[in-house]
Structure 1
């Protein structure tokens, strides 16, 4: 793996992955404070102070070098005003095994248009190309049908469902694991 690796904007057909900025606060707050958006996430709706702390923590995360490093770029529409419509996530889980976790969050008014899939494709292409990863996986609440559908469209294989895996938001919740290998991604690109 060619580490360290520093983030730079990634262009897709309709989207651009770019570093989060301080002027993303309002859009990020709208996402993170919405109970419906947070329904299947690991956190409850966040206060303005909590979102400010998240932005301060995540905006500088632009380098992958060691285990647990991550990037969380903003999703922006190429034909839009440059505002944040969601975020992506790529977390380096092992350098030796060349693995990472991927995730996405798209605002309600932008859901159902394929933006999460397109952005995930950009990060998978980066992961299996320039970064030389072997395996990328997603962990999600299996009740989140939209995210499950993104995984399926990406060619990710359902590997496991951990039943009542964690106590979250007052209930036992399952965790679904989806994954794709570099050779499987390469086969899909042919």
Structure 2
């Protein structure tokens, strides 16, 4: 006899893990952007939106000075492997034709990073990933977040093979809630006062199943 309650249970279909960013043959590409792993040279561009109060209002980042933000970018640039619960990987939104704030003499000419998209393992056992994103407010209203996240959602289901994708959204963040719906995600729950941010705030949980994404993909292709 075993004390393991899961003994004898049928295992869920496994995700395609481990995944290493170095295994990407080429960056993802959309009509206006290149989506690639974060690099150290992206620090100046990321600082331009990471420091803004209107961004920090909805993302659980502390206020950082420029050097602290650079260290944070280096940390995220090193997060290139998905294997266990909590592991995360970030694509930057490099907007083609928009000049980067990075030092040309050190990093060369490059497209400006205007946001990033995160994939994080919520549960390897239950084949679940979490999706997150941030976009510089100066570039909002142009459909860039939808363009980038839609491409990353397709990458997630096609390459990593999760059963479901989740997104956690501050209920005050109406733009992100609208983006979830645009991605075909459904509102599944509202968590009351689960986050302290100058007062207790509520969070919304959105979800998308693999079979739902496949139906959307097939419908758009027909």
Q: Which has the larger radius of gyration?
A: 2
Which whole-Å deviations, capped at 9, do the CAs of 1:162-184 have from their partners, x for residues lacking one? 1111222x200001111100001
Q: Name which of 202, 211, 218 aligns with 1:183.
A: 211
Correspondence list, 1:98-137, <5 A? 98-137=127-166
Q: Give 5+ residue unaligned stretches, structure 1.
A: none
Give the TM-score of the pair, scaled to structure 2: 0.81
Question: Is the contact between residue 5 and residue 63 of structure 1 (CA under 8 Å) also seen in structure 2?
Answer: yes
The answer to whether residue 41 in structure 2 is matched with residue 23 in structure 1 is yes
1:12 positional shift:
1.6
Is the deviation greater in 150-159 or in 118-127?
Answer: 118-127
1:80 positional shift:
3.3
Which residue number in structure 2 is paired with residue 49 of structure 1?
67
Which whole-Å deviations, capped at 9, do the CAs of 1:31-62 have from their partners, x for residues lacking one? 11111111111134321122012111100112
Which residue number in structure 2 is paired with residue 158 of structure 1?
187
Question: Is the contact between residue 16 and residue 77 of structure 1 (CA under 8 Å) also seen in structure 2?
Answer: yes
Q: What's the Cα RMSD here? A: 1.3
Q: Give 5+ residue unaligned stretches, structure 2.
A: 1-14, 100-110
The answer to whether residue 107 in structure 2 is matched with residue 93 in structure 1 is no
Question: Is the contact between residue 38 and residue 45 of structure 1 (CA under 8 Å) also seen in structure 2?
Answer: yes
Is the deviation greater in 55-64 or in 75-84?
Answer: 75-84
Give the TM-score of the pair, scaled to structure 1: 0.94
The CA distance in 1 between the partners of 2:61 and 2:112, in whole Å, is 23
